[in-house]
Structure 1
Amino acid sequence: MMLRLLVALLCVAGVSATPAQESPTLRKIREAGMISIGYRESSVPFSYLDSAQRPVGYSMAICDRIVDAVRQRLGLADLERRLVPVSSATRIPLVTNGTIDLECGVTTNTAERQRQVAFTVTTFVAASRLVSRKSAPVMRLEDLRGKTVTSTVGTTSLAHLQKLHTERGLEMSIVAVREDTDAFRLVETDRAAAYAMDDVLLRGTIAVARHPEDFVVSDEALSVEPYGIMLGKGDPQFKQLADQAIKALFKSGEIHRLYRQWFESPIPPNGVNLGLPMHPAMRRVIEQPTDSPDPAAYR
């Protein structure tokens, strides 16, 4: 009996003496003295290039706080930022293969994507809608019956369109394109009746269009889209550090300043003001942070 007790005590002591597993992402960053950040080139106002071709935006500002937290955790006086452009099609592969440590763009957190990557707590709540020309408005999905609609490869909006097309039998033609700008151009040139994408991105695209008064965003929403900063799967320490940095923004109230800066004030490069008040769902996220991919959690 005493022998079994001694063995058990030794096993417990051995387990408790085992050091916690080090974050592979933090180890890589410390050894390189560099963190790799994925950014979008035209996702106004989240992640896009300004007049000096520097990536700026709401998501980039949040990632700046995460980078500061990483630098402090590692005890580095300075931490080089390696900026890598990503698209809807390349963002997930570049996270999974370790090319980028943080994807600071406009990526919806979904259960399917969580099989490949991880997400921080939600940083924005959008809804997928349709943009069309005012001269031929598409305000409901039913308005697309027998027409052509477009969206971008690798987006949840395209997936929702394909699913709804099958479920409702709308006989619409779906055109998938590589970039958001290509999709909007199809509507501009009357080659597509509508373009499906997250409403805040549609409003940002319209705001910088040549004739913004020519376009309208649908009343009907196709889905709820919770955004998060995307990072590598299987590294809970790194995710926890990123989450803590975002929650600190929420708790201090600084997130409200960032929101006003990018959604309710003139933004570079042309001084456009999107004039988008914060949605109640986002206010709830600030009060009770969550990384849930379930759209019902935001309704």
Structure 2
Amino acid sequence: MLGLFSGLLAGLLAHTASAEAFDSSTLRKVRDTGVIVLGYRVDSAPFSYLDEKLRPIGYSLELCGHITEAIKKHLHKPELELKLVAVTSATRMPLVANGSVDLECGVTTNTLERQKTQAFSTTTFVAETRLLSKRSAGVRGLGDLRGKPVASTIATTSIQLLHQANLNEQLGLKILIGQDDRDAFRLLQSGRAIAYAMDDVLLRMLLLSVANAGDYEISAEAFSVEPYAIGLPRADAGFKALVDETLAGLYRRGEIQAIYRRWFQSALPSRGLNLQLPMSEAFKRVVAHPTDSADPQHYR
């Protein structure tokens, strides 16, 4: 009898320790309100965009769907309400930082600077910043843009890269800022900008949407590595642990392979466009050994 009691007690203590490992202010808020808030982007396919019925879908949202189910299970709240809030490049991080959004399920790079105001999950994708230009312009790198206008999107790592390169290399760039990716791309299309600096996967997606894609080229040279992650409230280790374990489980069980193929190697729902983008070697390494590193060198 004593042995049985000891076994039951050990099991209870193990369950309690597991529950405490995921204890967090965010989870308490979700439990008390019965609502979890997800931020999404309206036009950042394949990561987050609206389908023909104006419902948010995409790779990042599917990952957040798995996280939401894990939260429901952990809190024993299958009836948990899901509230979806549209965010932009400019509003996504402030809304996470002030607690308005619990999970930012869009397309955001994890950086040390951004970690000052919010946390990030395990890496969910690895992109690289490149230049998009018209073939006739002969742009191969930033040096070819000396003294010329170049576009990027507001509140992105790409715009920061341009400002830093402009300062360090005295390029004399005229940096034009788009309010979103399509707005920045229009600056290139109209000839107001000679090139558009942005993450390669997003540039590929934009080119799939135009009839004259052959008139443009993406630079072979990459200027930075961009580890994407889901945005989380800062200083909430328990919530981050639950999110990271959910993603690591998808990676460990191999479920990420089908999820990746659905959004990067198949016709996109409501768009019919196919990026035909194999998983990069950098992201394969993340899947094999999950990391939340913000250091670009970790992914090279």
SS at match of 2:107: strand
* Pairing 1:159–2:152 present: no
- State the SS of the aligned residue for 2:229: strand
Cα 1:203–1:21 change in 2 (3 A) is closer
Q: 1:264 to 1:137 in 2, by over 3 A?
A: farther
- Amino acid in structure 1 at the alignment position of 2:128: A
* Equivalent residue, structure 2, for 1:12: none
Query: Any residues of structure 2 matched to 1:135-174 within 5 Å, and which?
Result: 135-174=136-175
Q: Extract unaligned runs of 5+ from structure 1.
A: 1-15
CA deviation digits over 1:121-146, x for unaligned, max 9? 10000001111122324221111112
Determine helix, strand or coil for the equivalent of 1:135: helix
Distance 1:135 1:53 in 2: 37
The equivalences for 1:125-136 within 5 A come to 125-136=126-137
Q: Does the CA-based 8 Å contact 2:22-2:242 persist in structure 1? A: no
CA RMSD, aligned part only? 1.5
Sort the Cα spacing of 1:89 and 1:131 in 2 relative to 1 into closer, same or farther, 3 A.
same
CA contact (8 A) 2:123 2:228 kept: yes
One-letter amino acid of the structure 2 residue matched with residue 43 of structure 1: S
Q: How far does the alpha carbon of each residue in 1:115-166 deviate from its partner, in whole angstroms, 9 at most, with x for none?
A: 1100011000000111112232422111111211011111100000100111
Say yes or no: does 1:205 pair with 2:206.
Answer: yes
CA shift digits 1:32-58 (9 cap, x unpaired): 111100001111110111111111111
For residues 185 and 50 of structure 2, what CA distance do their matches in structure 1 show?
Answer: 18
Cα separation, partners in 2 of 1:51 and 1:232, compared to 1, 3 Å: same
Tell me the secondary structure at the aligned position of residue 228 of structure 2: strand
Match for residue 27 of structure 2? 26
Q: CA shift at 1:80, angstroms? A: 1.4
Q: Which moved more, 1:90-99 or 1:202-211?
A: 202-211
For 1:37, give the aligned amino acid: L
Measure, in 1, the Cα distance between the counterparts of 2:296 and 2:169: 21
Residue 186 of structure 1 pairs with residue 187 of structure 2: yes
Point out the more displaced range, 265-274 or 247-256: 265-274
Q: Secondary structure at the match of 2:122?
A: coil
Structure 1 equivalent of residue 253 of structure 2: 252
Q: Does 1:97 align with 2:94?
A: no
Secondary structure at the aligned position of 1:26 is classed as: helix
TM-score w.r.t. length of structure 2: 0.91
Normalised by the length of structure 1, the TM-score is 0.91
Between the two proteins, the alignment pairs up a number of residues equal to 282
Give yes or no for contact 1:125–1:281 (8 Å, CA) kept in 2.
yes
Paired AA for residue 203 in structure 2:
L
The one-letter code of the counterpart of 2:28 is R
Q: How does 1:1-299 map to 2 (within 5 A)?
A: 22-299=23-300
How far apart, in 2, do the equivalents of 1:54 and 1:138 lie? 38
On the 8 A contact 2:23/2:239 being kept in 1, the answer is no
How far does residue 210 in structure 1 lie from its aligned partner after superposition? 4.0
Q: What is the distance in 2 between the residues matched to 1:134 and 1:78?
A: 53
In 1, the alpha carbon distance for the partners of 2:148 and 2:59 equals: 35
- Please state whether the residue corresponding to 1:151 is helix, strand or coil: strand
* Distance (Å, rounded) in 2 between the aligned partners of 1:65 and 1:196: 32
- Where structure 2 has 5 or more consecutive residues not aligned to the other structure, the ranges are 1-16
Q: What is the SS of the residue equivalent to 2:266?
A: coil
Distance 1:268 1:168 in 2: 43
Which residue type is aligned with residue 53 of structure 1? L
Provide, for residues 244-267 of structure 1, a one-character-per-residue CA deviation record: whole Å limited to 9, x for no partner. 110011011010111111111110
Distance 1:22 1:43 in 2: 32
Report the Cα distance in structure 1 between the residues aligned to 2:193 and 2:296, rounded to whole angstroms.
Answer: 28
- Contact in 1 for aligned 2:22/2:239 (Cα 8 Å): no
Of 201-210 and 229-238, the range deviating more from structure 2: 201-210
- CA distance change for structure 1 residues 20 and 139 in 2, over 3 Å: closer, same or farther? closer
The separation in 1 between residues aligned to 2:23 and 2:251, in whole angstroms, is 27
Write the distance in 1 (CA, Å) between the matches of 2:152 and 2:107.
Answer: 15
4+ runs deviating over 4 angstroms: none
Tell me, yes or no, if the aligned pair for 1:141 and 1:220 is still in contact at 8 Å.
Answer: no
SS in 2 for 1:192: coil
Correspondence for 1:5: none
Partner of residue 6, structure 1 = none
In 1, distance between residues paired with 2:40 and 2:21?
32
